Structure 1
């Protein structure tokens, strides 16, 4: 897994590529937690290049989203590939998380008052 962090319209956008699983989940959690510790409260996660997510990867999403939301933060996932979207749907995460079809749509949602 690779994580690319960029600033777009004043928001942190994390682009996740490869696989999010038991091996890479801790790296994902560490990156999100570091950004939150530095004061980031509005994040967009671009899963466009993500080809696989395991149950351990899903746990990493839950482990990072709860503390951010408890601090009044917003986290939006964008650009889910069909296989990843299917897992979000089967596990009920589509109803738990905010998911957008594109990064631009996610940025607009995060910036909305």
Structure 2
């Protein structure tokens, strides 16, 4: 199954990417390349909406880890919202993504980010 990536530029250095399909060894390189094209020097937050992601393999998890390292290195972050049940199960088993970066909805994520910024 191919991977589709739709993005939406938001204000304050935040980009939301909607993933649809499979993120595996066949599509991870495309994901990595597309993300590099999307994030600019002012991008601080990449929101990955995984509601329509049907499958993720270890290659997909590596792509997420690479993105997280890249953003953390410049003071940014990657966050994950609306995980499909099957992807949520993989995240739970592997424990590759810290829970503070996984949200059940965009509203929950926005509330968390607002609280973080108010406490700085």
Once residues 107 and 46 of structure 2 are traced to their aligned partners in structure 1, the CA distance between those partners, rounded to angstroms, is 13
Say if 2:10 is the partner of 1:3: no
Could you state the TM-score of these two structures normalised by the residue count of structure 1?
Answer: 0.87
Q: Which runs of 5+ in 2 are unaligned?
A: none
Select which of 110, 115, 118 maps to 1:107: 110
Rg (Cα) greater in structure: 2
Q: How many residues align?
A: 113
1:22 Cα deviation after fit: 0.7
Structure 1 contact 5–15 (Cα < 8 Å) conserved: yes
Structure 1 contact 74–110 (Cα < 8 Å) conserved: no
Say if 2:38 is the partner of 1:29: no
Change (3 A) 1:33 1:84: same
Within 5 Å, give how 1:66-85 maps onto structure 2.
66-85=69-88
Q: Higher mean Cα deviation, 80-89 or 96-105? A: 96-105
1:97 Cα deviation after fit: 6.0
Once residues 99 and 35 of structure 2 are traced to their aligned partners in structure 1, the CA distance between those partners, rounded to angstroms, is 18
Say if 2:68 is the partner of 1:65: yes
Q: Which structure is higher in RCO with an 8 Å CA cutoff and minimum separation 6?
A: 1
Q: Which runs of 5+ in 1 are unaligned?
A: none
1:104 Cα deviation after fit: 2.6
